[in-house]
Structure 1
């Protein structure tokens, strides 16, 4: 996979496409402010994003844990879920990395036509429609149709992360490109420590 190069022009375009109705992230910066100052901020954000990518690290301030209930004690680990509320600028960085990964996969002809997860314009719904269509066609043609099990599950939480890292490496994605803590696929990211507990 080629190196990811962040340009101020590209960042400015992304910031101008930000949805201003999105909620304010943990950094307190409203999307309207980013959009209004896109020209002034694009050089700074491009430099910051490039540093994150080059150093394969990201600031902890981008990843605060999200409490389950508003009035719960912050020192009890069970009050937190494995989800992080991210700020808009972090989502922009994620978009840069994701679009580069997807372009690399497209260049390598990696996505299979029957794969529906993690592909643009594909979802569980499109997979279900495709499967039902295949069953219907089979039944209409008087073919034996055996269905053992049909299960749609949250795929990301069940992916063996070490296997995924190995597979990404085999597809030419350098470890440096996926090493950002936010995208490192390790459980430490999902379960932030509270009072020394995980």
Structure 2
């Protein structure tokens, strides 16, 4: 039996390089030849009726409410500020935090330090010396989550109101899941079969 010994620093550096280049590999796929005209026409027609998306500012009450509803069992990010501390000090820090968030919105700049995350590598299976056998779990600073939740709520509402999300879109939507997607798919198949039509499926692996 062969025993491989690794220096902790080398292991961390190897995984760091692997995780860092995952996104670059995806971006490296050439999309310049793809035709987005249909998508552009679709969105432009929708936006003509409703107008463009504008991110609203946060109120002190909204920030304070989000702080008070934080899950204190979650881990702290790189800043070391725990959700429990933010929750307990919500009424004191919410005015200052509101100013920072709104300043970011009006200046169109997201604080650089809030982009940083603490990454933990979780072993998925297979040989432990292969970086691709690990899944990265990113723990963001709690303050950045408050900002992101505010943006997500408004953007999701805008996409729903303008019907920019397709009715069949099930991923990452409230009230939708793999189960609802399969239920709709099977329902469509049964309708075609009841009408005497043939249903064909193609699976990609």
TM-score normalised by L of structure 1: 0.61
Of 20, 25, 44 in structure 1, the residue corresponding to residue 96 of structure 2 is 44
Once residues 146 and 179 of structure 2 are traced to their aligned partners in structure 1, the CA distance between those partners, rounded to angstroms, is 27
Larger Rg: 2
Once residues 187 and 161 of structure 2 are traced to their aligned partners in structure 1, the CA distance between those partners, rounded to angstroms, is 30
Of 109, 128, 132 in structure 2, the residue corresponding to residue 57 of structure 1 is 109
Once residues 138 and 97 of structure 2 are traced to their aligned partners in structure 1, the CA distance between those partners, rounded to angstroms, is 21
Q: For structure 1, list consecutive stretches of 5 or more residues without a partner in the other structure.
A: 70-77, 152-198
Alignment of 1:49-198 (within 5 A): 49-62=101-114, 63-64=116-117, 66-68=119-121, 84-139=138-193, 142-149=196-203
Instruction: Provide the secondary structure at the position in 1 that maps to 2:140.
Output: coil
**Structure-2 residue corresponding to 1:29:** 81
| Contact 1:20-1:32 at 8 Å conserved across structures | yes
| Contact 2:67-2:87 at 8 Å conserved across structures | yes
Of 56, 64, 71 in structure 2, the residue corresponding to residue 4 of structure 1 is 56
Moved more, 19-28 or 41-50: 19-28
| Contact 1:66-1:85 at 8 Å conserved across structures | yes
| Root-mean-square deviation over aligned CA pairs | 2.7
Q: For structure 2, list consecutive stretches of 5 or more residues without a partner in the other structure.
A: 1-52, 123-130
- How many residues get paired? 144
Which structure has more relative contact order (CA 8 Å, sep 6+)? It is 1
TM-score normalised by L of structure 2: 0.60
Once residues 150 and 117 of structure 1 are traced to their aligned partners in structure 2, the CA distance between those partners, rounded to angstroms, is 18
| Offset, 1:14 | 1.1
| Offset, 1:8 | 0.7
| Contact 1:65-1:82 at 8 Å conserved across structures | no
Once residues 41 and 136 of structure 1 are traced to their aligned partners in structure 2, the CA distance between those partners, rounded to angstroms, is 56
Moved more, 4-13 or 133-142: 133-142
| Contact 1:12-1:39 at 8 Å conserved across structures | yes
**Structure-1 residue corresponding to 2:71:** 19
